[in-house]
Amino acid sequence: MAQYLVKKVFLIDDDPIHLQVGSLLLQKSGLIEEIKSFQEAQAALDYLQAHTSDPEQLPDVILLDLNMPEMDGWAFLDSFERIRDNGFMNVRIFIYTSSINYHDRQRAHQYASVNGYLVKPLSREDIQLIVNSVHP
């Protein structure tokens, strides 16, 4: 069976420890070619908008924390949904959170761009789910 790789994953989380652990787990899987981390959701959104015309700079997958200061995951999703048609239709978003709240999970699935809800830390199964979303 062929082993597929995901070219680029963006990890958005305000906690540097979660960024480091998430990046390390993704790297150790050997299934992700490049990981770009953002501690602020607005910085990630700005990056996406600045690179709309260069698909090579865009991620295949975004792992998005919900609970962040300034712009939280919900505000990021609201903004992303508004620009999604501008070249981001193939970007898959997975909520990557410590929240096990049922209402958060239900709310997340109301967004067309959300492909899944992952609870920290990432498991091997979570990473495989991410890969399978890119290579069904």
pLDDT digits (tens, 9 = 90+) for 25-84: 999 999 999 999 999 999 999 999 999 888 889 999 999 999 999 999 999 999 999 988
> From residue 10, how far is each of 2, 64, 67, 101 by CA, in Å?
24, 8, 17, 24
Q: Predicted confidence band at 3 (pLDDT cuts at 50, 70, 90)?
A: low
Could you give the angle at the alpha carbon of 92 between the alpha carbons of 117 and 60, nearest 5°?
130
Structure tokens at 74: 């919900």
- Write the pLDDT tens digit of every residue in 106-122: 999 999 999 999 999 99
pLDDT at 2 over 60: no
pTM: 0.94
Domains of the chain from N-terminus onward: 6-134 (3.40.50.2300)
Return the exposure string of 99-108: e unless at least 16 CB atoms fall within 10 Å of the residue's CB, then b.
Answer: beeeebeebb
Q: Please give the Cα distance from 73 to 102 (Å, whole number).
A: 16
